[in-house]
A and B are shown apart, each in its own frame.
Chain A
Amino acid sequence: MGASLLKHLFQLFCILVLLTVTTVINHTFFSTLGNTGVSMLYLVIVVAVVYFCTFGIASGTAIAAFFAINYFFVAPRYTFEVAHIESWASLISFLIVSLVISSLVKRLKSQTEVSVLASKRAEFAKTLAEKLALSTDLASLINDTCTLLQTEFSKPFAIAQLDANKTYQLHSDSVAAPDQKALLWVANNAKPIGQYTDNWPESSYWLMPFNRLPSQLPILVIGHVSADDSVEIYTAIKSCVDQISQAYQRLINNEKAKHAELIAQEEAIQSALLASISHDMRTPLTSILGAATTLQQADLEPAQAAYLTSLIASQARYLATTTENILSLIRLESSEVKQIPMDWQSPEELIGVMTALYKNRGESLNLKVTASEPELLIKGNANLLMQALVNLIDNAKQAQTGLTNLNPEPILIDVVKTTDSINISVSDRGKGFDETFTASKIKKFSSTNAKGFGLGLSIVQAIAKSHDARLMIHNREGGGACVTLNFNIPNTENVNA
C-alpha cells in the first residue's frame, strides 16, 4: 500500500510539473500559439498522462488544464470568468475532446496490453506443447512442465499424485503440501479449488485436477495465490492443465502399450519355450524310453545292456540339467530375482564344488585353474554362480568334443582381479564363436547346437545380470572361445578380516 501511495504522489508531482511547464510555455508564446495552440499543448499533456496513469488521474488532469486555460488564456485573462460564448464552446470542447481521447487512449492501451499478453501466452503455450510432445517419461514430463510454469507465472508449481497408500504426495517440495481432504475433494469432484472458482475461493492455493471426471489422475497444485492474481492468470494456467493432462494421458497410454508389448514378447518366449521343450526334450526322452524298453526285452549281451543303462543315465542327467536351467531362467526373469540371497563367495571354492560335481557324475574334466591372487571374494548367490560355471564348462566341453587332437588342451578357468573388477573366464579350444556373434545377440532358445536349447549362454547372461555383472565373449588367439564374467569389485574394507 505504501509503495502504491508513493507512486501516485510521484505521478501527481510529475503532472503538476508538466502542467506548470506547459502553462509557462503557453504564457510566453501565447501571442504566437493562440487559443488553439495552447489547447493542443494541454491536450498532449492529458494524452501522455492517460498513457502512463489511470483514467481518473487523466480526467483530473483534463479538468485542471480546463481551468488553467480558462484562468490564464481566456478573456478576461487571470480570472475564471468567461466573456464570450465562443470561449465557453472552446473550453467545453477542449474538456470533452480531452476526456474522449483519454478514454480512447486508455482502451487502446489496455487492448495492446491484452494482445501483448496473449502473444506471450501463445508463445508459452507453444513452448509447453513442444516440451510435452518431447517428454518420453512421466517423471520428466512432471518436472519439466512444473519448471516451465514456475518461470512463466512466477509461482511455485507441483504435481500431487496418489501413492500406494492412497495418499496424495507432491512431486517436489517447492509448494507446501495442501490439506489431503482438499486434494481428495478435487479428485472426487473433478473441480478446481481456489480464487475465481466456486470452491474455496479464499484459499491460497489453486488445485486443478487433470481430468474433468472424478479420477485418480494427478492434481496441479499452485501455491502463493493472492488477490493480486488476475483471472487471466487463472484461465491461462487452467488451459495449461488441459494440455499437460493430455500429454500425461498419452504417456500413460504409451506405457500401457509398452507393457502390453512386453507381455506379448513374454508370451512369444513362453511359446518358444514350449516349442523347444516339445522338440528338444522328446529326443532324450525317446532315448531313455527306447533304452529302457529294450532292456526289458531279455537276451541282451551284457555289454549292450551296460551301454543302454549308461545311455539312460546320461540322457536323464541331461534332462535334469536342462530342466534346472529352464526353471532358473524363468525364476530369474520373474520378480523373484529381487529376492535372491547374495553373500560373499570364493570363486576358488565354487570351482572346487564344480569339480566335485563332475566327479560325482563320473564325467572327466580336464581343467586348469589359475587365480591372479588368493582369497578373492565376489558378492553373489552360490547356486546361481555354480550354475553359470557349470553351463560354461558344459559349453566348453561340448565345443571340444569331436576334436581329433590326441592331447587336447585343458579347459582354462582364470580368475583375475583388475583395479575395479574380478573376471572369471572360461576358455576352450573349440571352433569358437561365429565372427558376427556378440554377447548382445544371445537369445533364449536359439542355439546353433543341434542338441541344446541354446539355454547355456542365456542362463549365464541372466545370472550375470542378476549379479550386476557383465558377460563378455571373444575368440582366443590360436582358436577357441573365451567367455568372461566381469563382476564389479566388492567393497573390501571389511572383507579381509
Chain B
Amino acid sequence: MLMPDKSLILIIEDDLQISQFLQSSLKVSGYLTHCVQTIADGKHLLNEHKPALIILDLNLPDGDGRDFIDHVRISSDIPILVLSARQSEQEKVDCFDSGADDYLAKPFGVNELLARVKVSLKRTAMMSLRDDVFKLDDLEIDTVNSRVLLDKQPVHLTPIEFKLLFILAKKPGKVFTHRQLLTEVWGAEYINDTHYLRIHMGRLRARLEINSAAPRYILTEAGIGYRLAAT
C-alpha cells in the first residue's frame, strides 16, 4: 500500500485556466500539486500516488465527478473537496452522501479554497494521531469519556445532543448531511424529519455558542447539513 504524500494535492479539473490558478495558489501556499483533466487520468494517478487531498470538478469530459468519488471511497478515505458551478442543493447533498468531504461552489475566492484545504488536511493529520479529544478555542470534546467542556466547565447535553456532537467531532470540518445525521442518530426511517434535527441542533448551539447568529463551533451548510468548525 502506498503511503500518503502529506503535501500532494490531486486536482481533477478540465478547465485549463482554473486548474492553473489552483495550482499556482496551492504552490504558493506550500503544497505539491498534480493536475489531470479526466476521471481516467485521475484513477490512473491514484494508483501511482497517494495524494493527501483530491480537488475534484464535477463536469469532466469523460463523466460525472461523483463517479470518481464512488471509485475513491471503495478503497480510501482521502479527503475530497468538490468544486462545481452547479448550484442545485440536491447535487451537493448527493456529493456529500457519496463521501465528499467539502464542496465549494464556483465562483470562489482563493482564501476560501485555501482555508478548506487546510481544514481537510488538518483533519487527516488529527485522525492519524488517533486523538479522541477535539479542542477548538474554548470547546473541548472528549468522545471516549463522553465529556464536553466549554471554557473548562462541563456542559450538560442530552443523549441526542451528545450523539449529534460526537458524529460531527469524528471528522471536524467535514460536512454531514441531514440524511446522514438523521440516519445515525434517529434511524433510517427518520430521514425526512429534518425538523427534529433543526430543533436539536438549535438547542445544541444554544448551549455551546455565545452568539447563535454568528456561531463559532457548529456551522450550518444551508440546505445541506452541518459541520464542526475545525480551525
Contact = CB atoms under 8 A, between A and B. Distances in A.
A317 to B, nearest CB: 8
Contacts of A355: 213-214
26 contacts: A324-B87, A327-B87, A341-B90, A343-B223, A344-B195, A344-B198, A348-B202, A349-B198, A349-B222, A351-B213, A352-B215, A353-B222, A356-B219, A360-B109, A360-B111, A367-B214, A374-B202, A374-B206, A375-B203, A377-B195, A377-B198, A381-B89, A381-B223, A382-B223, A383-B222, A385-B222
Contact of A316 (B107, B196, B205, B212): B107
Contacts of B184: none
Given A351-B213, A367-B213, A383-B89, A344 B206 contact: no
Interface in A399-434: 413
B194 interface: yes
Contacts of A349: 198, 201-202, 205, 220, 222
A352 B201 CA distance: 13
Nearest to B106: A320
Nearest to B218: A352
Given A317-B109, A341-B89, A383-B87, 6 more contacts: A346-B202, A369-B213, A381-B89, A385-B222, A494-B195, A497-B195
A352 B220 contact: yes
B42 to A, nearest CB: 28
Contacts of B112: 360
A316 B196 CA distance: 39
B193 interface: yes
B144 interface: no
Interface string B70-91: 0000000000000000010110
A355 B214 CA distance: 6
A377 to B, nearest CB: 6
Given A313-B109, A383-B87, A375 B220 contact: no
Contacts of A348: 202, 205, 212-213
Contacts of A385: 222
Contacts of B203: 375
Interface string B168-180: 0000000000100
Contact of A352 (B111, B198, B212): B212
B202 A375 contact: yes
B68 to A, nearest CB: 25
A332 to B, nearest CB: 13
Nearest to A497: B196
A495 interface: yes
Contacts of A383: 87, 89, 222-223
A359 B214 CA distance: 10
A497 B223 contact: no
A316 B202 CA distance: 35
Contacts of A361: 109
Given A367-B213, A383-B222, A386-B222, A375 B107 contact: no
Interface string B130-150: 000000000000000000000
B213 A497 contact: no
Interface in A456-496: 494-496
Contacts of A381: 89, 223
A382 B206 CA distance: 20
Contacts of A352: 205, 212-215, 219-220
In this complex, the interface size class of chain B, counting residues with CB under 8 Å from chain A, is 20 to 34
Contacts of A377: 195, 198-199
Contacts of B109: 313, 317, 360-361
Interface in B196-231: 196, 198-199, 201-203, 205-206, 212-215, 219-224
Contact of B89 (A316, A344, A356, A382): A382
B223 to A, nearest CB: 3
Contacts of A359: 214
A284 to B, nearest CB: 13
Interface of A: 313, 316-317, 320, 324, 327, 341, 343-346, 348-353, 355-356, 359-362, 367, 369, 374-375, 377, 381-383, 385-386, 413, 494-497
Contacts of B87: 324, 327, 383
A375 B199 contact: yes
Most A CB contacts (10 A, CB to CB) among B196, B205, B220 go to B220
What is the predominant secondary structure among interface residues of chain A facing chain B?
Answer: helix
B199 A495 contact: yes
Most A CB contacts (10 A, CB to CB) among B194, B199, B206, B221 go to B199
Contacts of B196: 497
A386 B202 CA distance: 17
Contacts of A317: 109
By Cβ-Cβ distance, the 4 closest A-B pairs, closest first, are A382-B223, A382-B222, A369-B213, A344-B195
Nearest to A347: B213
Nearest to A352: B215
A495 B195 contact: yes
A344 B220 contact: no
Contacts of B193: 497
Nearest to A367: B213
A359 B90 CA distance: 26
Contacts of A316: 107
A413 B212 CA distance: 13
A413 B220 CA distance: 19
Most A CB contacts (10 A, CB to CB) among B178, B193, B219, B223 go to B223
B191 to A, nearest CB: 12
A130 B219 CA distance: 65
A115 B224 CA distance: 77
Interface string B91-119: 00000000000000001010110000000
A470 B213 CA distance: 24
Contacts of A324: 87
Nearest to B90: A341
Most B CB contacts (10 A, CB to CB) among A316, A341, A359 go to A341
B164 to A, nearest CB: 14
B91 to A, nearest CB: 12
Interface in B49-70: none
Contacts of B212: 348, 352
B222 A350 contact: yes
Contacts of A369: 213
A362 to B, nearest CB: 8
B198 A346 contact: yes
Nearest to B219: A356
